[in-house]
Amino acid sequence: MNLFDYVRPASVAEAVAAGSQPGAAYLAAGTNLLDLMKGGALRPGRLVDVTRLPGLDRIETLADGGMRIGAMVRNADLARDPAFAAAYPAVAEALLSGASPQLRNAATVGGNLMQHTRCAYFHDAASACNRRDPGAGCDARGGENRNHAVLGWSDACIATHPSDFCVPLVALDAVVEIEGPDGRRDVALEDFHRLPGTTPERETVLRAGELITALRLPPEAGGFRTHARYLKLRERTSFAFAIVSAAAMLRIEGGTIQSARLALGGVAAKPWRAKAAEELLIGAAPTVESFATAAEAALTEAMPSGDNAYKIELAKRVLKCALLLAADGTPRRMPALPASVFNFDTGCHSHA
Amino acid sequence: MPLSISLVVNGVRKDVVLEDPRVTLLDLLRERVGLTGTKKGCDRGQCGACTVLVDGRRINACLALAVSLDGADVLTIEGLAKGGQLDPVQAAFIAHDGFQCGFCTPGQIMSAVGLIREGEAGDDPERIREGMSGNLCRCGAYVGIIEAVRDARKQLAISANEDRRVA
Ligand SMILES: Cc1cc2nc3c(=O)[nH]c(=O)nc-3n(C[C@H](O)[C@H](O)[C@H](O)COP(=O)(O)OP(=O)(O)OC[C@H]3O[C@@H](n4cnc5c(N)ncnc54)[C@H](O)[C@@H]3O)c2cc1C
Ligand code: SF4
Ligand code: FES
Ligand code: FES
């Protein structure tokens, strides 16, 4: 790990001033940042500790019926918050399917959004990586790339964004609240993470010194609570990143789908909203046929970026399966294995 | 610039001066405070051998910067037994053979203490297994570990009831 200066500002304004200096990085729980610094992949000259900033650890219900979650709220506390879990059960399920209980007790909302790709070449300081070192090349092309992107990738970078949390959030039109040297602004989560294009080193739209202060859910996001699921395929039962995952949320009245919210994880450099597929479902019956058609539509633009064509078919099946589970209804209690295909107690259609 | 921090470790206040800030809570406990019960397995958040309770919550000490936790209350495996009497979780690991080589055991036990305090797994073996998924065991002692956690939870519930009756 490189040597760095450590500062602990007392206010958001002080944090932004300290975080705007060249080479500075914000430190939340450090579960991603310290990991990358230990391997030498990231070498910030100054860490600005934001864990004690006042007012960033609250979960509030807003007057319009939406919710605001402070950037320092811990992942486990959010998943366990009764009002939050009742309103957005697929988000709670996604949170509980991520990492381990110890990591979720530490990891923050802001850090989860900002976590870097798990591409092994990004983590290995000795490998060529355009995302870490612009212009260096990409060792994942022609390397180990079976878990890389099938949507939105470019010749410069084929990495995926690893967050589970962000997948249902993007489907629910979550908004990121940001404070920076030029004041406050809001950015839709859908526009927050960038596709790589020719500048994969710019992972998000955050400008130098900008700090995430909160995440906001609009009032409509609470309308999907009765039919909301997250499904995550992993290489082992638990404590593993997604190969592919899907969030499916439905509003069903009189046997007809009124509206649908769909997103995929593990397929692109951002949580991938599937709007075309959502539109196909409006007015349809919640049947396996309409779900298969929607899943097909969600992946029409998909292309393998290496040894990963299997992920396209897998993503379709996971999305179809998530839709079937959502149509069955949100389980009354969180499944023993959140987001897992191995939930025998919730009657999972586990043939994905 | 040296940094002075102060932690309460197993009920005892520890003032430590760090020459530079690159010290994790795990290295601080093992190298500066002399408590080597907390183990370093992967040092990257992947195995759970370094699990301790910070302000009552289980976390991975290897991915926490010590200076950021200035003022925190830390409980490690060394602080669990009281007056020569094993904690019920420790006793249950022995009774159920919840280990073989023992390297993962301090982390498993601290994780189990955290899980029981979180209170969500109940007696359901599936939920306990998932609740212990942040702790790997190379010896594969999982069957005994799950039984130990179930048993310890029952013992703790019984003694909590007895305390209430006495009070
Ligand atoms: C072994 C392991 C397994 C994991 N498995 C999963 C998984 O299955 N699913 C999953 O979703 N995640 C998983 N994770 C990732 C985990 O969720 C993240 O490490 C965590 O959410 C990061 O939060 P943090 O508070 O520790 O962030 P930090 O590590 O402190 O920061 C991460 C990044 O965000 C920046 N940052 C932090 N806060 C802010 C802010 N408020 N504003 C602007 N920038 C900020 C930091 O500068 C840094 O670049 C896993 C991690 C590990 C180590
Ligand atoms: S895929 Fe992206 S992150 Fe991975 S090595 Fe290539 S440029 Fe780097
Ligand atoms: S040593 Fe901390 S998780 Fe492995
Ligand atoms: S007892 Fe040997 S690693 Fe668990």
* B88-166: CATH number: 1.10.150.120
Position A343 scores a pLDDT of: 80
Calculate how close chain A gets to B167, using CA atoms only, in Å. Answer: 31
Domain A222-351 belongs in CATH node 3.30.390.50: yes
Q: In sequence order, which residues have a C-beta less than 8 Å from that of residue A33 and are 6 or more positions away?
A: A25, A27, A42, A44, A47, A111
Q: B88-166: same fold as B3-79? A: no
User: Minimal CA–CA distance to A171: which of A84, A260, A254, A97?
Assistant: A260
Mean pLDDT of A190-196: 98
Best B42, B57, B67 residue to mutate vs chain A (most A CBs within 10 Å): B57
User: ipTM score here?
Assistant: 0.96
- What value, to the nearest 5°, has the Cα angle with vertex A32 and ends A134 and B136? 130
Best B60, B123, B136 residue to mutate vs chain A (most A CBs within 10 Å): B60
pLDDT above 80 for B1 = no
- Do residues A168 and A247 make contact, with C-beta atoms less than 8 angstroms apart? yes
Any atom of ligand 3 within 6 Å of the Cβ of B41: yes
Task: Give the chain A residue nearest B51 (alpha carbons).
Answer: A102
Judge residue A338's burial from the number of C-beta atoms within 10 Å of its C-beta, 0-12 exposed, 13-18 middle, 19 or more buried.
buried
Position B34 scores a pLDDT of: 97
Q: Please name the amino acid found at residue B76.
A: T
Any atom of ligand 2 within 6 Å of the Cβ of A203: no
Task: Return d(Cα A127, Cα A107) in angstroms, integer.
Answer: 27
Position A157 scores a pLDDT of: 98
Locus of tokens 């944090």: A15
Calculate how close chain B gets to A166, using CA atoms only, in Å. Answer: 21
Inter-chain CB proximity A105 and B111 less than 8 Å: no
Count how many residues are written for chain A. Answer: 352
Please give the number of the atom of ligand 3 that sits closest to the Cα of B62: 2
Inter-chain CB proximity B126 and A31 less than 8 Å: no
Judge residue A311's burial from the number of C-beta atoms within 10 Å of its C-beta, 0-12 exposed, 13-18 middle, 19 or more buried.
buried
pTM summary value: 0.97
Structure-block tokens of residue A234: 């992993």
pLDDT digits (tens, 9 = 90+) for A131-169: 999 999 999 999 999 999 999 999 999 999 999 999 999
Tell me which chain A residues have a C-beta less than 8 angstroms from the C-beta of B65.
6, 27, 30, 34, 47, 49
Task: Return d(Cα B153, Cα A255) in angstroms, integer.
Answer: 45
Average pLDDT, chain B: 95
Position B40 scores a pLDDT of: 98
pLDDT digits (tens, 9 = 90+) for A32-85: 999 999 999 999 999 999 999 999 999 999 999 999 999 999 999 999 999 999
Sheet arrangement for strand B3-9: B12-18, B3-9, B73-75, B51-54, B57-60
Tell me which chain A residues have a C-beta less than 8 angstroms from the C-beta of B131.
101
Position A351 scores a pLDDT of: 53
* DSSP class per residue in A23-63: TEEEESS-TTHHHHHHTTS---SEEEE-TT-TT-S-EEE-T
Any atom of ligand 1 within 6 Å of the Cβ of A103: yes
Position A348 scores a pLDDT of: 52
Confidence of residue B165 (pLDDT cuts 50, 70, 90): low
- What value, to the nearest 5°, has the Cα angle with vertex A150 and ends A147 and A156? 90
Please give the share of chain B, as a percent, with pLDDT higher than 70.
Answer: 97
Locus of tokens 């990591």: A103
What residue owns the CA closest to ligand 4's atom 4? B137
Calculate how close chain A gets to B34, using CA atoms only, in Å. Answer: 23
What residue owns the CA closest to ligand 1's atom 11? A163
Inter-chain CB proximity A102 and B22 less than 8 Å: no
Locus of tokens 């807003």: A62
- Do residues A269 and A157 make contact, with C-beta atoms less than 8 angstroms apart? yes
- Chains A and B form CB pairs within 8 A to the count of 89
Nearest by CB to residue B58, choosing from A1, A4, A105, is A105
Position A205 scores a pLDDT of: 98
pLDDT digits (tens, 9 = 90+) for A86-140: 999 999 999 999 999 999 999 999 999 999 999 999 999 999 999 999 999 999 9
For residue A213, CA distances in Å to A54, A92, A169, A177 come to 11, 20, 16, 6
pLDDT above 60 for B167 = no
Any atom of ligand 2 within 6 Å of the Cβ of A130: yes
- Do residues B16 and B7 make contact, with C-beta atoms less than 8 angstroms apart? yes
Q: Which of B24, B29, B50 gets mutated to test ligand 3 (max ligand atoms within 8 A of its CB)?
A: B50
Confidence of residue B88 (pLDDT cuts 50, 70, 90): very high
Task: Return d(Cα A38, Cα B46) in angstroms, integer.
Answer: 14
Confidence of residue B2 (pLDDT cuts 50, 70, 90): confident
- Do residues A117 and A149 make contact, with C-beta atoms less than 8 angstroms apart? no
Q: How far is CA A331 from its chain centroid?
A: 22
Please give the number of the atom of ligand 2 that sits closest to the Cα of A159: 1
Residue A111 DSSP SS3: helix
Please give the number of the atom of ligand 1 that sits closest to the Cα of A112: 21
Per the DSSP assignment, residues forming a β-bridge with A5 are A46
pLDDT digits (tens, 9 = 90+) for B107-161: 999 999 999 999 988 999 999 999 999 999 999 999 999 999 999 999 998 888 7
Query: Which H/E stretch holds residue B114?
Result: helix B105-118
Domain spans in chain A, listed from the N-terminal domain onward: 222-351
Q: In sequence order, which residues have a C-beta less than 8 Å from that of residue B82 and are 6 or more positions away?
A: none
CA dihedral A177→A179→A182→A183, nearest 10 degrees, is 80
User: Minimal CA–CA distance to A113: which of A185, A167, A40, A41?
Assistant: A167
Any atom of ligand 1 within 6 Å of the Cβ of A211: yes
Position B160 scores a pLDDT of: 80
First-to-final CA distance of chain B = 51
Residue A228 DSSP SS3: strand
Position B161 scores a pLDDT of: 78
Average pLDDT, chain A: 97
Nearest by CB to residue A336, choosing from B58, B115, B126, is B126
Domain spans in chain B, listed from the N-terminal domain onward: 3-79, 88-166
Calculate how close chain B gets to A271, using CA atoms only, in Å. Answer: 24
Structure-block tokens of residue B153: 């939870």
Task: Return d(Cα A28, Cα A89) in angstroms, integer.
Answer: 25
Identify the CATH homologous superfamily for domain B3-79.
Answer: Beta-grasp domain (3.10.20.30)
Tell me which chain A residues have a C-beta less than 8 angstroms from the C-beta of B59.
102-103, 105-106
Task: Return d(Cα A245, Cα A311) in angstroms, integer.
Answer: 10
For ligand 4, which residues put their CB under 6 angstroms from it? Answer: B 99-105, 137-139, 141
- Ligand number with the minimum distance to the CA of A103: 1
